[in-house]
């Protein structure tokens, strides 16, 4: 039974990792005052690009890079349309998702039915030999470690660095930031590109580690879950991480509960559980309104017209 619990934890980590990547990227984007609803589309394009790169070159590193690059490219389209041409962020983001679904299907046409053995696990020497803990903490594919490091880095960047402060200022009041001489558009471009890269990475994780193959629409709504996580975690990196693991954890545990055949809850209800529980828990821990107001980027989704 202990072995079962251990294996379940390993599965939870795989399930949570793509959500962590996509959500932490979107968090930075939103903190800069941009709402990009195209996460799902960027994930899919990232997934297909990384799978293509792995298939053609055989290099996992190139695969990951290709996924990130594709995500950044898609984000650039979004940034140009919304930041330069002042198109509506909501509409453009939705269009980006629809575009991403279509273009990834097109690129992926020749990849259907192609197999890939998946990212190798990195056993951290010595540490991975520790019984139980070693396997839970120190023997994953490299991207799992990256996702945790990324959350810590983003958290540090937003709170402790001058650049992070500027990013938050831009997100809270672009007019004030502009008046102080900060390059609002440039900051938002960089944040949006970062978000795109993260979504691409999340996609790469899906097609290279989670379910190593390409099939159309394989993200199956995970981009939307990531978007929701950011809001319900009230824009705090540590809560995004917690939310992603909570969601992953409950999704996996309900499958285990079903497989064990001992718990008598309708499976439809079980499938709802991760969504319900994640929202309820995150709303409860973030119910301090003052804090939400302080954390929420005040000019999110608003177009910026520089008045020189």
Partner 1 sequence: MFRKTVLAKKLLAAATGLLLTTFSGILSADDPFKIGFVYVGPVGDHGWTYRHDIGRQAIEAEFGDKVATTFVESVPEGADAERVIRKLASSGHDLIFTTSFGYMNPTVKVAKAFPKVKFEHATGYKRGDNVSTYSARFYEGRAVLGTIAGMMTKTGTVGYIASFPIPEVVRGINAFTIAMRKVNPEATVKVVWVNSWYDPGKEADAAKALIDQGVDIVTQHTDSPAPLQVAQERGVMGFGQASDMSAFAPDAQLTAIIDNWDKYYVERTLAAMDGSWKSEDVWAGIDSGMVDFPEYGAMVPDDVKAAADVIKESIVDGSLHPFQGPIMDQNGKVVAEEGTNIDDGTLLGMDFYVEGVQGTLPK
Residues at the site binding partner 1, with contacts judged by CB under 8 A = 3-4, 7-8, 11, 14-15, 18, 37, 94, 97-98, 101-102, 105, 108-109, 112-115, 117-118, 206, 210-213, 215-218, 220-222, 224-225, 227-228, 231, 251-252, 255-256, 258-261, 264, 266-268, 270-271, 275, 279
Q: With respect to partner 1, which residue has the nearer C-beta, 171 or 248? A: 248
Q: What is the DSSP string of 202-219?
A: HHHHIIIIIS-S--TTTT
We find the least distance from the C-beta atom of residue 214 to partner 1, in angstroms, to be 8
Task: Count other C-beta atoms under 10 Å from residue 46's C-beta.
Answer: 38
We find the least distance from the C-beta atom of residue 153 to partner 1, in angstroms, to be 25
The three-class DSSP label of residue 92 is helix
Q: With respect to partner 1, which residue has the nearer C-beta, 4 or 84? A: 4
* Contact (Cβ atoms closer than 8 angstroms) between residue 77 and residue 45: no
**Element (DSSP H or E) covering residue 33:** none
Q: With respect to partner 1, which residue has the nearer C-beta, 189 or 245? A: 245
We find the least distance from the C-beta atom of residue 141 to partner 1, in angstroms, to be 12
| Distance between first and last Cα of the chain | 67
Give 134: exposed, middle or buried? Use CB within 10 Å, 0-12, 13-18, 19+.
Answer: middle
Q: With respect to partner 1, which residue has the nearer C-beta, 106 or 152? A: 106
Instruction: State the Cα–Cα distance between residues 164 and 258, nearest whole angstrom.
Output: 45
Instruction: State the Cα–Cα distance between residues 295 and 250, nearest whole angstrom.
Output: 27
């Amino acid at each position: 039974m202990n072995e079962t619990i251990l294996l379940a934890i390993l599965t939870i980590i795989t399930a949570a990792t793509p959500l962590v990547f996509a959500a932490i990227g979107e968090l930075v984007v939103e903190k800069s005052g941009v709402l990009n609803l195209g996460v799902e589309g960027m994930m899919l394009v990232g997934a297909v690009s990384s799978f293509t790169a792995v298939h053609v070159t055989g290099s996992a590193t190139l695969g990951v890079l290709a996924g990130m690059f594709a995500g950044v490219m898609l984000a650039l389209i979004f940034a140009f349309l919304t930041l330069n041409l002042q198109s509506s962020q909501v509409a453009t983001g939705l269009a980006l998702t629809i575009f991403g679904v279509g273009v990834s299907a097109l690129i992926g046409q020749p990849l259907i039915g192609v197999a890939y053995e998946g990212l190798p696990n990195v056993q951290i020497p010595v540490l991975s030999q520790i019984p139980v803990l070693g396997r839970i903490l120190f023997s994953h594919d490299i991207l799992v470690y990256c996702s945790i490091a990324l959350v810590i880095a983003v958290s540090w960047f937003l709170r402790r660095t001058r650049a992070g402060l500027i990013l938050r200022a831009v997100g809270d009041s672009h007019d004030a930031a502009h008046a102080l001489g900060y390059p609002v558009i440039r900051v938002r471009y960089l944040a949006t590109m970062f978000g795109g890269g993260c979504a691409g990475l999340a996609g790469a994780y899906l097609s290279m580690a989670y379910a190593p193959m390409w099939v159309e629409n394989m993200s199956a709504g995970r981009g939307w879950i990531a978007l929701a996580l950011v809001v319900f975690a009230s824009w705090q990196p540590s809560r995004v991480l917690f939310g992603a693991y909570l969601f992953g954890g409950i999704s996996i545990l309900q499958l285990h509960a079903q497989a064990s055949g001992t718990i008598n809850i309708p499976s439809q209800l079980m499938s709802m559980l991760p969504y319900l529980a994640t929202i309820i828990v995150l709303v409860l821990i973030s119910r301090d309104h003052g804090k939400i107001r302080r954390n929420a980027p005040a000019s999110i989704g608003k177009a910026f017209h520089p008045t020189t």
